[in-house]
Amino acid sequence: MRIVNNLMLLLIFMSFFMLLSCSKDDIPKKSLLAGDTTDVAFHRFFNPPLQLSLIWDEQKLYGNATDSLDIDNDQVADVFFRLIVLNPDSLHLLEGEMPNPFPSLHIYGRDSLFETATISETVYVGLGTTTKYYWVEALEHGQLIDETRNWKPANYWGEKLWSENPVSMLSNGPWFEKAQPAFVAFRLRGALGWIKMDTHSTDDPLIMGFALQAPS
């Protein structure tokens, strides 16, 4: 009987020690599903979707648009979009030269506390070397958003959803003429969120809605 009691005490002690030794990393991190509004602090859907209003230069060659979202409902813009497009009717004005800048769609925050989930693309740059190019990841409805994604700060210069480019080995990004709406995963001051967008028309991206969890 004494042996049994000693074994029981040993098992209890070991269980208690294992609980104490659990690190913070063993605790499940906060997560969110793309498109889900359960247990979020703020969410909003736009009907009709928001459009970016283009302003053309004097030659009507380059169009630029910038717009923003107040994600956390504090009356201050948190997230910005910058769109650059070319007018197909004015391409002769390039006179065979490369566009400067190339058409693209960026997302960025007002400070480095805004981050987006990204994916990388490896591109050969010559002499046996490669470099990584980063795009904002395009998530499908229901995909998991958590701390394990590849997060990058998207401050003033931002991260690209799509971009035309002169390098044939580099794609135009996962959002370029994407047939179906998708989700940008982001972190704002540590809180997870998503933005639903439709970019099938590169000249007219649509912002359909967003959600933000409460900070941890």
> CA torsion, points 181, 137, 46, 108, in degrees to nearest 10?
-150
Give the pLDDT confidence of 150-208 residue by residue, as tens digits: 999 987 778 999 998 876 668 899 999 999 999 999 999 989 999 999 999 999 999 99
Confidence of residue 14 (pLDDT cuts 50, 70, 90): very low
- What's residue 170's pLDDT? 81
Q: Which long-range contacts (C-beta less than 8 Å, at least 24 apart) are formed by 59-67?
A: 59/90, 59/93, 60/87, 60/89, 60/90, 61/86, 61/87, 61/90, 61/91, 61/93, 61/94, 62/86, 62/87, 62/99, 62/101, 63/87, 63/203, 67/207
Q: Identify any residues that bridge with 38 across adjacent strands, giving them in sequence order.
A: none
Distance CA 114, CA 116 (A): 7
User: Regarding predicted confidence, which is higher, 6 or 165?
Assistant: 165
Residue 16 reports pLDDT greater than 50 = no
Per the CB < 8 A criterion, the answer to whether 41 and 212 are in contact is yes
Give the pLDDT confidence of 114-138 residue by residue, as tens digits: 999 999 988 776 777 878 889 999 9
Statement: the pTM of the whole predicted model exceeds 0.75: yes
Query: pLDDT averaged over the chain?
Result: 85
Residue 97 reports pLDDT greater than 70 = yes
Per the CB < 8 A criterion, the answer to whether 36 and 48 are in contact is no
Distance CA 72, CA 110 (A): 13
